[in-house]
């Protein structure tokens, strides 16, 4: 496991530990099937095992981690049916975020989206897929931020606890397929075309989904 967890202070310890692990999942720093060890995480974050164990159990309850045994905690490998259900929800919710973002975006919002796409292209050009995956996630969440829909963003965050690892595992294979529709989203937002923005982000999710479904990152168990 290459991801470096941040050392944390003692204020609001349990929540900070939880957010630290959740962030790694959402950003795709942890891949499907990756094993997490409570003592190793506690040592890396400079805390006792109790808040780490509590955070792990909370993420298990949320479906983001799989507790096979107290000593075997893993990032789940999603079944295709579960992936397709989450994707269907994302199509609706992220479509709504893009639609609203197109109606409300100002020049600064558009500049941030341009920078994210540029940074993602740069990461892909040097094959830094970890950074590219993280930037991809930020782009998607930025639409909800621009739309000023914090409740929707919170729902997306919960979905991306499970989506982050899957997208990360397929990102290298997908390459520019994973971001080519981001330009369409940006173009639609520039001219405040809400329906075009909605369709563009849906196309992005479906295009990336084709890569995921054709790869070996999902479970093949019946």
Q: What is the enclosing helix (H) or strand (E) of 207? A: helix 194-214
**For residue 220, what pLDDT band results from cuts at 50, 70 and 90?**
confident
Distance CA 15, CA 7 (A): 14
- Look at 9-13, 133-137, 181-185, 206-210 and tell me which has the smallest mean pLDDT: 9-13
A 10 A CB-CB count for 71 gives 9
3-state DSSP assignment of residue 66: strand
Q: Is the pLDDT of residue 7 over 80?
A: no
DSSP code of 177? G
Choose among 162, 177, 163: nearest CA to 207.
Answer: 177
Contact 82, 131 (CB under 8 A): no
- This prediction's pTM: 0.89
Q: Is the pLDDT of residue 79 over 90?
A: yes
The token duo for 182 is 């981001």
Q: What is the pLDDT of residue 112?
A: 98
91-101 pLDDT tens trace? 999 999 999 99
Buried b (16+ CB within 10 A) or exposed e, 100-118: bbbeebeeebeebbeebbe
40-65 pLDDT tens trace? 999 999 899 999 999 999 999 999 99
């Amino acid at each position: 496991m290459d991801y470096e967890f941040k050392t944390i202070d003692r204020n609001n310890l349990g929540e900070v530990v939880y957010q630290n692990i959740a962030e790694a999942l959402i950003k795709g720093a942890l891949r499907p099937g990756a094993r997490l060890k409570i003592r190793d995480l506690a040592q890396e974050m400079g805390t006792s095992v109790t808040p780490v164990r509590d955070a792990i159990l909370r993420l298990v309850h949320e479906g983001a981690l799989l507790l096979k045994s107290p000593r075997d905690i893993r990032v789940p490998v999603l079944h295709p049916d579960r992936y397709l259900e989450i994707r269907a929800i994302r199509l609706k919710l992220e479509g709504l975020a893009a639609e609203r973002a197109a109606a409300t975006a100002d020049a600064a919002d558009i500049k941030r989206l341009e920078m994210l796409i540029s940074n993602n292209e740069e990461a892909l050009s040097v094959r830094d897929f970890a950074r590219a995956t993280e930037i991809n996630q930020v782009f998607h969440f930025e639409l909800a931020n621009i739309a000023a829909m914090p409740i929707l963003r919170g729902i997306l965050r919960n979905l991306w606890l499970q989506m982050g690892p899957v997208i990360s595992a397929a990102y290298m294979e997908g390459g520019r397929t994973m971001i080519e529709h981001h330009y369409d989203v940006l173009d639609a937002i520039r001219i405040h075309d809400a329906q075009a923005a909605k369709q563009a982000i849906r196309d992005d999710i479906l295009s990336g989904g084709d890569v995921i479904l054709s790869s070996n990152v999902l479970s093949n168990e019946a």
